[in-house]
Structure 1
Amino acid sequence: MHHFIYNALPARVVFGSGTQAQVTQELKNLGCCKALVLTTPQQVDQGHVVEDLLGDLCVGLYTRATMHTPTHITDDAVKAAQELKADCIVAVGGGSTIGLGKAIALHTDLPQIVIPTTYAGSEATPIIGQTENGVKTTQKTLKVLPEVIIYDVDLTLTLPPKMSVTSGINAIAHAVEALYSQDANPVTNLLAQEGIKSIASALPVIIQEKDTALLLKARSDALYGAWACGTCLGAVGMSLHHKLCHTLGGTFDLPHAETHTVILPHAIAYNTPFAADAIAKAALSLGVRNAAQGIYDLAKELGAPCSLKELGMKEEDLEGAADIAVRSPYSNPVPLEREKLLKLLRDAWAGTRPE
């Protein structure tokens, strides 16, 4: 018998096409009537759509959500929520907007409804990352877990192809880390493998297919995979890959999904000798023999960035990144050694295909 501990997360999930229209009923189900809608500056139009759906149940639209959840933006958003006497947060967008909603909830205990428009997966986790003074830190608390997630496949149809790839591989990273987490269990393993397979098979179709029906199915599969990947990560924990990405994003301001896409093959290669069974599960879901090479090849074939250099990382900053990464490291199948991490980062900077 395999002994394990599994904690199911309390959340309501509404999945389908056209489901965004249910936001008003979901708000009422929570007993709320004064929603503050959140977006990034780039997604204001989507915020207005939700405003219109909510009508008098919406007290305002906050549009300053920012990548890596800087604390000064959170402070401003909390103040806005309090001044408007909001009793609920409705976050519309990707990881930046979802992160801000979580940060507001952390300070105010306001319930959250999340309407994801990417494959970030953060909406399914009780994990929040915040950046202050150039350092990104994370914590895990049920205070930030959204009460309701509304997945509307229609909202992902206009997600640009390149962004779809990096967002999808970002989600795959959640599942890979869940497979070799110290809290891994049969339930999250199944979710992780399902999520990896769903997204990896959908991304080439999203990039290459012109048939509307096939595209819709691929978008649905990718969004379903994002939920599965986020859910399994939320139930277990983060390791080397996320530590490096939080370091590179929070301190060096690299773009979130793109950084995950570049780092993941190298993080897998680093851990493979020490988590062979877990990585083998990932490879099987990807349909390849070598998981690190499989992820790298998938990203490259679909036109995603494969090097930190492409993202604007300076080679002279790699030493500093390695130093930060070994401080307060996340749990990992093998200890994080500075020189080995530096080699990993140099390979990622150059875009070298993992061996």
Structure 2
Amino acid sequence: MSWTHDTLGQRVRMATGTAAEALAEEVDRLGARRVMVVAGPAETSLAATVTAGLPVALRHDEVVMHVPVEVAERAREAAAAAAVDAIVTVGGGSTTGLGKAVALTTGLPLLAVPTTYAGSEATDVWGLTEGAVKTTGSDLRVLPRTVVYDATLLTGLPRHLSVASGLNALAHCVDSLWAPRADPVNAALAGEGARALAAGLPAVAADPDDLRARELTIQGAYLAAVSFASAGSGLHHKICHVLGGRYDLPHAETHATVLPHVLALNAPQAPAADERLAAAFGSPTGLAGLQRLRAELDAPRALRDHGFREEDIPDAVAAVLPVVPPSNPTPVTTENLTALLRAVWEGADPS
């Protein structure tokens, strides 16, 4: 056995019902006096409540999916003009991503208050899109110093977004089991994350106001993101980054749709990973458990429903092949990748 594991240093607070108080304490710990608050238009009211006790110097609401470079540049310019000394994000993955883009070039400390299960808040991964190409990288400057989770902030998340975002989190678990830096620590985190998500998501879908279910799902999403941050991007995320950046597809729905097809491709050549997922789902196989969960949640099935066109499949295959990780359990070819993306497009049974 030979492996190396890196654990990222981050402070995490579960503060159900007390996000504003917890966030104020964390900003005070940093000694920040001029805070930039990043929150999209849909989160304006929520962000105002959560950040009411902060020394806010700038509120920035230009949040765009996949963080276009020009959007990041405008946010950086606004931060410089306001002479801010810390960044607080309130929102989902796109919001956290924009905060990371500012932190990447400024070195400013970042604090995150998530309102979805995206998991970006627990990683040192940044992503920027330019000319339909999404570029990602890792840098400790973008890792939020503190994450404040509050289950009450997610009760307003529509059911379909809870499902898609939760399955996006589950994709972090699955990919972590065969990503380039997969190791036993990541596998343990991924397995427990999958178990928590499989238990929490159906309860959240059934009752959006069930705070215990929200907390369990948040916990699963956090564990998933921590495992992903250490293990790196596997085939699933490489595919989704190409699809999202190249064709401007919705992030969570893309992950939710692609996931079972990547699992079906890799599981036969990754029996240990499949056994761990099966145990987390309480099912004979990982794919059987995932499909049962997806059926219960009425998860997204076909990527053509979200803007992916059949004629884009060859172009997507050509873009994905060069970035396939060497660690992928099943060799990826033009033929099987084309078949996978066609199945994703039409919503075919992954088995």
Q: TM-score range by the shorter chain?
A: over 0.9
Cα distance in 1 for partners of 2:68, 2:195 equals 33
Q: What do the CA deviations read for 1:33-88 (whole angstroms, capped 9, x no partner)?
A: 1110001222111222234221xx11011001111111110000000000000110
Q: What do the CA deviations read for 1:203-230 (whole angstroms, capped 9, x no partner)?
A: 11112248x6xx1111110001111000
Residue of structure 2 aligned with 1:204, choices 202, 207, 215 = 202
Cα distance in 2 for partners of 1:342, 1:154 equals 42
Counterpart of 1:242?
A: 237
Counterpart of 1:139?
A: 137
Counterpart of 1:307?
A: 302
Structure 1 residue 270 displacement after superposition: 1.2
> How high is the TM-score relative to the length of structure 1?
0.95
Q: Structure 1: which amino acid aligns with 2:343?
A: D
Checking the alignment, whether the CA contact within 8 Å between 2:121 and 2:147 is kept in structure 1 is yes
Checking the alignment, whether the CA contact within 8 Å between 1:296 and 1:353 is kept in structure 2 is no
Over 3 Å counting, the alpha-carbon distance change for 1:144 and 1:330 in structure 2 is farther
Cα distance in 1 for partners of 2:133, 2:205 equals 35
> How high is the TM-score relative to the length of structure 2?
0.96
Counterpart of 2:5?
A: 6
Checking the alignment, whether the CA contact within 8 Å between 2:180 and 2:234 is kept in structure 1 is no
Residue of structure 2 aligned with 1:159, choices 147, 157, 161 = 157
Checking the alignment, whether the CA contact within 8 Å between 2:23 and 2:51 is kept in structure 1 is no
1:155-304 superposed matches below 5 A: 155-209=153-207, 215-304=210-299
SS of alignment partner, residue 66 of structure 1:
coil
Cα distance in 2 for partners of 1:283, 1:352 equals 22
Checking the alignment, whether the CA contact within 8 Å between 1:112 and 1:146 is kept in structure 2 is yes
> Bigger CA drift: 3-12 or 111-120?
3-12
> Bigger CA drift: 102-111 or 276-285?
276-285
Counterpart of 1:89?
A: 87
Cα distance in 2 for partners of 1:184, 1:93 equals 29
Cα distance in 2 for partners of 1:206, 1:61 equals 31
Over 3 Å counting, the alpha-carbon distance change for 1:70 and 1:109 in structure 2 is same
Cα distance in 2 for partners of 1:86, 1:135 equals 30
Checking the alignment, whether the CA contact within 8 Å between 1:51 and 1:61 is kept in structure 2 is no
SS of alignment partner, residue 192 of structure 1:
helix
Please tell me whether residue 150 in structure 1 is matched to residue 148 in structure 2. Answer: yes
Count of residue pairs the alignment pairs up = 349
Q: Structure 2: which amino acid aligns with 1:182?
A: P
> Bigger CA drift: 345-354 or 84-93?
345-354
Structure 1 residue 299 displacement after superposition: 2.1
Cα distance in 1 for partners of 2:291, 2:243 equals 19
Checking the alignment, whether the CA contact within 8 Å between 1:266 and 1:292 is kept in structure 2 is no
Cα distance in 2 for partners of 1:116, 1:286 equals 26
Q: Structure 1: which amino acid aligns with 2:41?
A: P
The alignment's C-alpha RMSD in Å is 1.4
Counterpart of 1:345?
A: 341
Structure 1 residue 137 displacement after superposition: 1.4
Structure 1 residue 185 displacement after superposition: 2.0
> Bigger CA drift: 285-294 or 225-234?
285-294
> Bigger CA drift: 65-74 or 283-292?
283-292
1:14-33 superposed matches below 5 A: 14-21=13-20, 22-33=22-33
Checking the alignment, whether the CA contact within 8 Å between 1:265 and 1:291 is kept in structure 2 is no
Q: Structure 1: which amino acid aligns with 2:31?
A: G
Structure 1 unmatched ranges of 5 or more: none
Checking the alignment, whether the CA contact within 8 Å between 2:24 and 2:51 is kept in structure 1 is no
